[in-house]
Amino acid sequence: MRYLLMAILFSVVMNGQKTEERSQNIELKKELAQIYKDDQIYRELMQPNIAPERKAEIAKEKNLSPEDLGNGLIKIMDEQDQNNLVKVEKIIEKYGYPGKSMVGEPESYAVWYVIQHSPKIEKYLPLIKKATDEEELPFRLYAMMLDRKLMYENKEQIYGTQVRSVFSTKSGKTTTLSFVWPIKDPDHVNELRKKSGFGKTIEDYAKDMAGIEYKKYTLKEALELLEKKK
């Protein structure tokens, strides 16, 4: 009897999964998978710890020259970002936000990534909020986009997800200072991060994401650093 119940339960679960797959837009799912790959691949090349074999593999796949892998990479990535934005704006116009019930995960993240890497965060942030309210996206993605919007507006972020880098050149040598953008309530940010779906404390996040020790900066201090860069 127990085995019969287990078999019935397994059948129900599998049928549910098949029904969910049938209800998804498979063509859109494939398109978003490619957009997601295109968004991430050049950023992967910029990771300092990328394996030489993986770097060579990407260079071959994208037909990149040594010059492309150097100073030309930012330009290539920017062009790809612009192309991706054109595609996702057409998708949004046709479908609204393509969330997990429409395309599954991780394909439902693709449009979010493209917007996050675009100059149109302010325009689409309400759409992202709606998608998270409807549980089509994890709330933490809305939190990250909100933080980036606030940082771009030279305001304090809330969840501590954004890192800023300042470059300075002296005697022909360029140095980089990376820091977590000022947080509105740094003393309670770890509690907020936990409630919002972030698995790491601000200290661990800073170390893992940017290889830096977390340091509290006031907004005044951060803006002064940006001013020195000019």
Contact criterion met (CB below 8 Å) for 109 and 137 = yes
Q: Tell me the pLDDT tens digit for each residue of 41-56.
A: 999 999 888 999 999 9
pTM exceeding the 0.75 threshold for the entire prediction = yes
Q: How far is CA 29 from each of CA 15, 35, 93, 111, 133, rounded to the nearest angstrom?
A: 20, 10, 16, 11, 22
In the chain, where the domains are located:
24-121, 138-230
3-state helix, strand, coil split of the chain in percent (to 5) is: 65, 10, 25
pLDDT digits (tens, 9 = 90+) for 175-188: 889 999 999 999 99
How many separate helices (H) and strands (E) can be counted in the chain?
Answer: 12, 2
Summarize pLDDT for 86-104 with one digit per residue, the tens. 999 999 999 999 999 999 9
pLDDT at 19: 47
Residue 14 has pLDDT above 50, yes or no: no
Query: Identity (one letter) of the amino acid at 57?
Result: E
Q: Of the given ranges (11-15, 71-75, 208-212), which has the lowest mean pLDDT?
A: 11-15
Residues 73, 46: contact at Cβ < 8 Å?
yes
The tokens for 141 are 């993605």
Tokens of 67: 């010059």
The whole-number pLDDT of residue 20 equals 52
- Greater pLDDT, 48 or 200: 200
Distance between CA atoms of residues 49 and 208, nearest Å: 12
What pLDDT shows up at residue 169?
A: 76
| Percent of the chain whose pLDDT exceeds 70 | 90
